[in-house]
Amino acid sequence: MLRLDYSGHGASGGQFENGSISAWTQDALTVIKAAVDGQLILVGSSMGGWIMLHVALALGPQISGMIGIAAAPDFTRDLMWRDLTAEQRDTLNRDGVILLDSEYDPEGYPVTKAFIEDGEKNLLMENPIDINCPVRLIQGMLDTEVPWETAVQLSHALTTSDVRGMPGKER
C-alpha cells in the first residue's frame, strides 16, 4: 500500500497556497511511478478524488479500480468560485489571494488566484471522463462540503459501465 499527503497538506512540507491541482497530480504520478510496479487501486477523498481521476487518465490500463470518497472534481469552480461573494472575487482578482473560513483552521486558509486558474485548466466534468475500470463513489448524503449531487454528476461523466454509488447518512 502506498499513501501520500500532497505538499501543503497533512504531514507533507510546503504551503497549501503554493500548490495546485496540476502540481499535486504530477507529484502523485512521480511517487507512483517510483514506488509501484503493477496494477493499482486508487483511493481519493475530496480534492484527492479529483487528482485520482487525473492520475487514472494518465496511467490508463495500470488502474484496476478506483474508490472516491466525497470526490470533488472541478471543486475550484463548482464549490469555491461560484460560492464567493462579489467582494471576495474582487479581492482575489486584485490581491491574488483571499482567506476562506475553515472549520479546521480558525485563521482560515488561503486560496490564490493561481490556484483557481489552475483548477480551470484541470476541469473534467464538462466532458466524458475516459475511465474504464470499476469505480465506487462513497458519498455522505448530509455532507456540507461536497454535495451528494457531485457524486451523481461524476457517475454520469465516467465512461465505465461499472460505476456504483454508495450513499452514506453522514459526511
pLDDT tens figures, 26-84? 999 999 999 999 999 999 999 999 999 999 999 999 999 999 999 999 999 999 999 99
> 4 in a domain, yes or no?
no
Residues 89 and 54 in one domain: no
CA distances from 105 to 82, 98, 151 (A): 22, 14, 26
Residues contacting residue 42 through CB under 8 Å, at least 6 positions apart: 52, 55, 56, 63, 65, 66, 67
Total domains present in the chain: 2
106 in the same domain as 167 = no
Q: State the average pLDDT over residues 9-19.
A: 76
Is residue 31 domain-resident?
no
Does residue 50 lie in a domain region? yes
Is residue 19 included in any domain, yes or no? no
Per-residue pLDDT tens digits for 78-120 = 999 999 999 999 999 999 999 998 887 788 889 999 999 999 9
Counting every residue, how long is the chain? 171
Domain assignment of residue 85, given as a range: 75-122
CB 157 within 8 A of CB 128: yes
Give the pLDDT confidence of 129-141 residue by residue, as tens digits. 999 999 999 999 9
Inside any domain, residue 111 = yes
Q: pTM score, two decimals? A: 0.92
Query: Is 27 contained in some domain?
Result: no
What CA–CA distance (Å, rounded) separates 54 from 75?
14
Three-class SS of residue 158? strand
